[in-house]
Chains A and B, each alone.
Chain A
Amino acid sequence: MLARLNVLLLGLLAPALSFAGDAISATEKQPLNIHAIGMFVVFVGMTLGITKWAAGRTKSAADFYTAGGGITGFQNGLAIAGDYMSAATLLGLTAMVYGKGVDGYIYMIAFFAGWPIILFLMAERLRNLGKFTFADITSYRLNQSKVRTMAAVSSLTVVCFYLVAQMVGAGQLIKLLFGLDYTIALFVVGALMMVYVTFGGMVATTWVQIIKACMLLAGGTLVMILAMSQFGFSFETLMSKAISVHSLGEKILFPGSLLPDPVTALSLGLGLMFGTAGLPHILMRFFTVTNAKEARKSVLYASGFVAYFFNVILLMGFAAIIIVGQNPEFFEGGNIGGKIIGGGNMVAMHLAKAVGGNLLLGFLSAVAFATILAVVSGLALAGAAAISHDIYARVIRQGKATETEELRVSKLSSVALGIVAIILGIAFEKMNVAFMVALAFGIAASANFPVLILSMYWKGLTTRGAVVGGYSGLVAAVLFVLFSKSVWVTVLGNAQALFPYDQPALFSMPLAFLVTIIISKLDNSAEAQAERAQFDDQYVRAQTGFGAAEASAH
């Protein structure tokens, strides 16, 4: 149990972080936090109101999956930023800067740098070609059944692993912040998620995400300003004090254990950059905006908010070194330098309490809970879309399902995913689930991304290549993670890892590209010729948006 929460939270953040597991301690149940619960109830009331309003506007499949394509670039930018700035970002990264200094900042830039690339290479084509799911793009000119099944299988795998990691993290975190029982916390999260997604679809999910992003930005900024005021808003004063009291001293200015070797560095960079570009719930956000113009703007706003918030976190982390790290109130037994009450991930919360009292602590706790809720809702919606739009409507019913039927299946799928998430969350309570996020990012970067980018850029791609390549990326990512230290040694208890790195992307992603390209090149069937011939029309649509899915009437 000890040391697990940190591993877990950092795991939510990204696979490569599990090294930092030593910094942390227990996830003991805390006393009931009245301010936090009060503010959370206000948040839930507000979002349920929005869900009711959204339910009235969610009539067609387009409304359900993509909010009718009527979200503006600014709103979508906030929602994407919300998807990206999870509770783990706030708590895990603040804790990382607090514990290891500039390492946390290096990690943040890796998390950020994928966005410009997504904008330059993908955003416009995604919007012009896609409708509800990214499989719309990969199957555009290929065999619908085979390619959609492959895309849905890998999407659901990504969603499930990510969902379980989030749920376990949520249960632990809520136990800590609110003093609620783990199982009760899981039921609260699962039930609210089902209500948002089933009744409000993408409209509600987007607005929940927007509200939460605003709360997070406001809460973080307030804590940062109050903390910095203690140092006369001077970075120099802050740093000189932080270095003089930190146990690592000057070393907090140098890279530490984050990037021990170039292979890990590259794999981290690749995995984060292209894993993000293959996450189904992130890709889906590009179909909610009116057109390619708005899709581009959403990346501009999203990356602006993310960049800003990461720098706020850097200052929070450094300020916490002095404000939290020197205050006996926040250490067990009042023993400065000992164990932090509630574990290392509570640093951001302690900082809020130190600079703004119980009220600010309550607010930030409510923000953390809201954040988890918003992220799992987005995941559940992406999973439901893969089941209903790809598998049910296009594969099982071969495109003959009515919109009503498809909608019914998608709502049932959301409920089913919610139940699965709760059950798995309970089953995995005592397990270290950090590897699940490594797996989710690995699969996204290895199975989804290569096929997606090739389908948009390479005329030669054929059904056979896409399917074989996609499945090999999926299997390779799963096997690499299974044989890595985080599963083979930590979970399964073997002595020696068979694969030396925790992050599979550097190996499984090139493999998927290679297999896809070779198999496609060798494919000279009549279908393959026809598929290549259709690329030219697809290319024109990708570039100009002519024929792209339009925003629905309202």
Chain B
Amino acid sequence: MSSTSSQRAVYARIRSNPRFAELVSKRQGFATLLSVIVLTIFYGFFMVVAFTPNVIGQRLSEGSYVTVGIAAELFMFIFFWVLTAVYVKRANGEFDDITTEIVRDAAKEVK
């Protein structure tokens, strides 16, 4: 799996490009933020289930069968999926455009 010397030259050029550092910090920051949101909500919900299970079965309004638990879970299904859509949109658009540009520049200079 070792890379060729021309590949290594390209990797070195990419690393020295400030746009690369910008791409990595932007994308990693965004991915980390979204992960923290998902993990916090998910484990928060699990803590409620574990410690105060009575809250889960409480109804949102009198005479309705939609409970806190059902509403929270439906919200998580939808919200987490929307977050994946948001990430895919930004990563496949903005981030990939920067990536293509960085790789093209580096490959050109090495040749």
**A interface with B by C-beta (< 8 Å):** 102, 105-106, 108-110, 112-113, 115-117, 119-121, 124, 136, 139-141, 144, 235-236, 239-240, 243, 250-251, 253-255, 259, 261-262, 265-266, 269, 292-293, 296-297, 299-300, 303-304, 307, 310-311, 536-537, 540-541, 543-547
Q: Which residues of A contact B91 (CB under 8 A)?
A: 124, 296
Q: From B49, B80, B92, B103, give the contact of A546 (CB < 8 A).
A: B103
Interface contacts (Cβ under 8 Å), in number, total: 160
Q: From A116, A299, A546, give the contact of B10 (CB < 8 A).
A: A546
Q: Known contacts A121-B35, A254-B57: does B14 contact A540 (CB below 8 Å)?
A: yes
Query: In the complex the two chains form, what is the Cα distance from A124 to B27 in whole Å?
Result: 11
A142: nearest chain-B partner, CB-CB: B1
Interface residues on B, range: 35 or more
Query: In the complex the two chains form, what is the Cα distance from A297 to B73 in whole Å?
Result: 24
Q: Known contacts A253-B57, A255-B56: does B35 contact A120 (CB below 8 Å)?
A: yes
Q: Is the beta-carbon distance between B69 and A102 smaller than 8 angstroms? A: yes
Query: In the complex the two chains form, what is the Cα distance from A459 to B7 in whole Å?
Result: 20
Chain B residues touching A, majority SS: helix
B91: nearest chain-A partner, CB-CB: A296
Q: From A139, A293, A311, give the contact of B74 (CB < 8 A).
A: A311
For A120, A240, A543, which residue has the most chain B Cβ atoms within 10 angstroms?
A120
Q: From A109, A136, A140, A536, give the contact of B76 (CB < 8 A).
A: A109
Q: Known contacts A136-B1, A540-B14: does B99 contact A545 (CB below 8 Å)?
A: yes
Q: Is the beta-carbon distance between B84 and A299 smaller than 8 angstroms? A: yes
Q: Which 9 A-B pairs have the closest CB atoms?
A: A239-B65, A254-B57, A253-B57, A120-B31, A255-B53, A262-B50, A265-B50, A537-B11, A540-B11
Q: Is the beta-carbon distance between B57 and A102 smaller than 8 angstroms? A: yes
Q: Is the beta-carbon distance between B65 and A102 smaller than 8 angstroms? A: no
Q: Which residues of B contact A310 (CB under 8 A)?
A: 77
Query: Nearest chain B CB to A132's CB is how many angstroms away?
Result: 11
Q: From B10, B69, B74, B77, give the contact of A255 (CB < 8 A).
A: B69
Q: Is the beta-carbon distance between B84 and A119 smaller than 8 angstroms? A: yes
Q: Is the beta-carbon distance between A102 and B67 smaller than 8 angstroms? A: yes
Query: In the complex the two chains form, what is the Cα distance from A387 to B106 in whole Å?
Result: 38
Q: Which residues of A contact B24 (CB under 8 A)?
A: 543
B94 at interface by CB-CB < 8 Å: no
Chain A residues touching B, majority SS: helix
Q: Which residues of A contact B67 (CB under 8 A)?
A: 102, 253
Q: Which residues of A contact B56 (CB under 8 A)?
A: 102, 106, 253-255
Q: Which residues in chain B, 66-87, are within 8 Å of chain A measured between CB atoms?
A: 66-67, 69-70, 73-74, 76-78, 80-81, 83-85, 87
Q: From A102, A106, A251, A544, give the contact of B99 (CB < 8 A).
A: A544
Query: In the complex the two chains form, what is the Cα distance from A259 to B48 in whole Å?
Result: 11
Query: Nearest chain A CB to B10's CB is how many angstroms away?
Result: 6
Q: Known contacts A120-B34, A121-B35: does B11 contact A536 (CB below 8 Å)?
A: yes
Query: In the complex the two chains form, what is the Cα distance from A250 to B96 in whole Å?
Result: 51
Q: Is the beta-carbon distance between A253 and B92 smaller than 8 angstroms? A: no
Q: Known contacts A544-B102, A546-B14: does B38 contact A116 (CB below 8 Å)?
A: yes
Query: In the complex the two chains form, what is the Cα distance from A102 to B23 in whole Å?
Result: 43
Q: Which residues of B contact A269 (CB under 8 A)?
A: 42-43, 46
Q: Which residues of A contact B102 (CB under 8 A)?
A: 544
Q: Which residues of B contact A546 (CB under 8 A)?
A: 7, 10-11, 14, 103, 106-107
Query: Nearest chain A CB to B40's CB is how many angstroms away?
Result: 11
Query: In the complex the two chains form, what is the Cα distance from A393 to B15 in whole Å?
Result: 33
Other A-B contacts than A253-B57, A292-B96, A307-B78, 5 sampled, CB-CB below 8 A, are A112-B76, A113-B80, A116-B38, A253-B70, A255-B56
Q: Which residues of B contact A544 (CB under 8 A)?
A: 14, 20, 99, 102-103
Query: In the complex the two chains form, what is the Cα distance from A113 to B40 in whole Å?
Result: 11
